[in-house]
Amino acid sequence: MNIGYVRVSTEEQNPARQQALLRDLGADEIFIDKASGKNTDRPELQRMMSYVRKGDTVIVESISRFARNTRDLLELVEHLTAKQVEFVSKKEVIDTTTPTGKFMLTIFAAVAELEREYILQRQREGIAIAKSQGKYHGRAPLPLPDNFEAVATRWQRGEITAKEAMRQTGLKSNTFYRRVKYAQSHIASF
């Protein structure tokens, strides 16, 4: 059986192009993740890895859709190989049933990881430049819930627990404490 795997990085991106390509390549079943490829903790990837059986072939558009670093890619392919499942990447023309295919897989994985590191480096450099020019201040904080000040005051007086305050405001612990600290130093009535 030919099993296709598709990954797009965000919910807004459309996987249709990859799906059409995999159907043209004979994919009988397609698993689709809308998540970053920074690690292998993706629900459909994990489901596909459990689903494949001896004799199946996993087909992807490109290595970068399957894994973004060499270690993850090699571990995934090793897991497939242990299950006697082939791996094919259309873009890089890789077939792991041959020694040359395995070698090329390692080379392309290293290049994909290098490309990802370059992207992150350029991003960090761009942010640093924007910060130095006063143009970047990070993501704007979300507005506080209407009941935040009253709930935080009750918490500070010991009338309710922090857990209850977080439940009432709908904030996670790190956000709640950060917002209380900010409010204490910036809001006169607090």
Residues with a known catalytic role = 9
Nearest-angstrom CA–CA distance, 74 and 168: 46
**Mind spelling out the 3-state secondary structure of the chain?**
CEEEEEEECCCCCCCHHHHHHHHHCCCCEEEEEECCCCCCCCHHHHHHHHHCCCCCEEEECCHHHHCCCHHHHHHHHHHHHHCCCEEEECCCCEECCCHHHHHHHHHHHHHHHHHHHHHHHHHHHHHHHHHHCCCCCCCCCCCCCCCHHHHHHHHHCCCCCHHHHHHHHCCCHHHHHHHHHHHHHHCCCC
Q: Which amino acid is at 53?
A: R
